[in-house]
Amino acid sequence: MTSRLYYDSPLLAFDAVAIAHDGDDATRVVLDRTAFYPTSGGQPHDTGVLGGARVVDVVDDEVDDRIIHVCDAPVPLGPVHGQVHAARRHDYTQQHTAQHLVSALAADRLGWTTESVHFGVDHSTIEFGADLAPETALRSLEVWSNAVVGEALPVTIGYEDAETAIGLRKPPARGGMIRVVTMAGVDRSACGGTHVATTAAIGPVLIRGAEKIRGRVRVGFIAGDRALRRIVERDALLDTVARAMNCAPDALLELVPKRMAALKAASDELTVLRREVTRYRVAELAADALPDANGTRRVAYTFAPDETEALSLAVKVASRITGLIFIGLLDGGTAIAVAAHPETGYDAGERLKSALAAVGGRGGGSSRVAQGTVAEPSQVAAVVRELLRVARDG
């Protein structure tokens, strides 16, 4: 049996006795008492140092009522000093107490019951038994939470009989004596986690959106030091964007939509111009190509690596130019496209499929337009030579 110091004290440094190992593994240590919190109730375990070893996991062995400390090195039996990693404990203590606050307010004011919780490294989530989570409700939940934080209400720990405990937000999962966390006038919950002493110590609470999952609503949140860091990061980001747009941060809300609309209009115009350039380019290439005795013109053209759209458009345009066989590729790439006007008698799909098969490539298409790829850029030249050869022979 392990005495759980974290139940009643924020103690981080403590002395104990290593009374057993879990099996024969000296890296899995059982103490007579511990301040290390084990993974439980959605809250991740503490980390820290035990003797000369790092504590990397803490497991609650409920069957034998003991805590197993998983270390990165063996810890001998006997007296040992433990030190809990303060920053990690403080962080999850803030997040856990914030979850009680948000869950209680959501239940009382929105009718949302808490079905499950998860405390992550970067943010935490609560799954509510609700069909929808409108943005107005989320913003209200954030305002209400921070208002309670500002009231600095006491958060106390007590022990009560599960059969007679009243006012609990959810029925206790077990009988007998239970540990009850009370947030004065806001919440009473059976909970074994770590919690701050007053709501003021929770720090700011930020609600970070919601998503539908398994017929429920999952709401994300961060609190305390995490939220402060996020606020600072957002402020710095706003300043950076404002400087880039040569305006005050407060003007971004009005200016950004205007700039985005202007940028979209310019992008649309650029797309139209690029398409026109491609049409002229193909027409010019076709006009410069010398026809053979049958009047067929052959063009092989290499586009820049970022001209994928131009390549696709080029073969469509080329397929409508009388007497033209057009082969297009991307510089340094593996894609090949072929176009042929019907009067040439050249089946683009069959010819490309055959040429690609010879080098292990894949592709095909219609008699007028086809496309495919080779495994290596070095194989493109051989495919193009074959396409041009059959164009002449055919």
Residues paired with 25 in a beta bridge: 22
CATH number of the domain that residue 364 is part of: 3.10.310.40
Give the domain-ending residue among 69, 84, 99: 84
The candidate with the shortest Cα–Cα distance to 28, out of 58, 62, 5, 7, is 58
* Residue at 258 is within a domain: no
In a shared domain, residues 73 and 120 = no
Give the domain-ending residue among 206, 233, 260: 233
With cut-offs at 50, 70 and 90, classify the pLDDT of residue 271: confident
- Strongest mean pLDDT among 82-91, 173-182, 273-282: 82-91
With cut-offs at 50, 70 and 90, classify the pLDDT of residue 393: low
Q: Give pLDDT, residue 116.
A: 93
Q: What is the pLDDT of residues 292-333, one digit of tens each?
A: 888 999 999 999 999 999 999 999 999 999 999 999 999 999
* Residue at 239 is within a domain: no
Task: Return the percentage of the chain with pLDDT > 90, whole number.
Answer: 83
What tokens does 93 get?
């203590």
Q: CA 358, CA 354: separation in Å to the nearest integer?
A: 7
Q: Give pLDDT, residue 49.
A: 98
pLDDT exceeds cutoff 70 at 285: yes
Give the domain-ending residue among 51, 67, 84: 84
Q: What is the pLDDT of residues 225-266, one digit of tens each?
A: 999 999 999 999 999 999 998 989 889 899 999 999 999 999
CATH number of the domain that residue 58 is part of: 2.40.30.130
Taking the whole predicted model, whether its pTM rises above 0.75 is answered as no
* Residue at 131 is within a domain: yes
In a shared domain, residues 227 and 280 = no
With cut-offs at 50, 70 and 90, classify the pLDDT of residue 392: low
Q: Give pLDDT, residue 41.
A: 82
Q: What is the pLDDT of residues 147-206, one digit of tens each?
A: 999 999 999 999 999 899 899 998 887 889 999 999 999 999 999 999 999 999 999 999
Q: CA 130, CA 138: separation in Å to the nearest integer?
A: 13
Taking each helix axis as running N to C, give the angle between helix 224-244 and helix 252-288, from 0 to 180 degrees, rounded to the nearest 10.
60
Residue 69, domain extent: 3-84
In a shared domain, residues 207 and 165 = yes
In a shared domain, residues 71 and 180 = no
* Residue at 240 is within a domain: no
CATH number of the domain that residue 96 is part of: 3.30.980.10
Query: Residue 325 carries which side chain, given as an amino acid letter?
Result: I
With cut-offs at 50, 70 and 90, classify the pLDDT of residue 62: confident
In the predicted model, what is the mean pLDDT of residues 124-139? Answer: 94
Q: Give pLDDT, residue 175.
A: 86
Whole-number mean pLDDT of the chain?
93
* Residue at 184 is within a domain: yes
Beta strand residue intervals within the chain, DSSP E:
3-4, 13-22, 25-31, 33-34, 48-50, 53-61, 66-71, 78-84, 113-119, 124-129, 155-161, 177-183, 187-190, 205-213, 216-223, 297-303, 324-330, 335-340, 362-365, 369-373
- Give the C-alpha distances (Å, rounded to integers) separating 115 from 85, 164, 389: 30, 23, 69
Q: Are 334 and 298 in contact (CB under 8 A)?
A: no
In a shared domain, residues 280 and 362 = yes
State which H helix or E strand residue 90 sits in. Answer: helix 86-105
Q: Give pLDDT, residue 293.
A: 85
Q: Are 93 and 43 in contact (CB under 8 A)?
A: no
Q: CA 326, CA 153: separation in Å to the nearest integer?
A: 77
In a shared domain, residues 95 and 57 = no
In a shared domain, residues 222 and 115 = yes
In a shared domain, residues 222 and 107 = yes
In a shared domain, residues 27 and 69 = yes
Percent helix, strand and coil across the chain, each rounded to 5?
40, 30, 30
With cut-offs at 50, 70 and 90, classify the pLDDT of residue 388: confident
Pairing of strands 33-34, 3-4: parallel
Q: How many domains does the chain have?
A: 3
In the predicted model, what is the mean pLDDT of residues 37-46? Answer: 92
* Residue at 238 is within a domain: no
In a shared domain, residues 351 and 331 = yes
In a shared domain, residues 127 and 219 = yes
* Residue at 255 is within a domain: no
Longest dimension (CA), the chain: 103
In a shared domain, residues 96 and 137 = yes
Residues 6 or more apart from 147 whose CB is under 8 A from it? Answer: none
Here the contacts of 362-365 (C-beta below 8 Å, separation 24 or greater) are 363/336, 365/338
Q: What is the pLDDT of residues 329-356, one digit of tens each?
A: 999 999 999 999 999 999 999 999 999 9
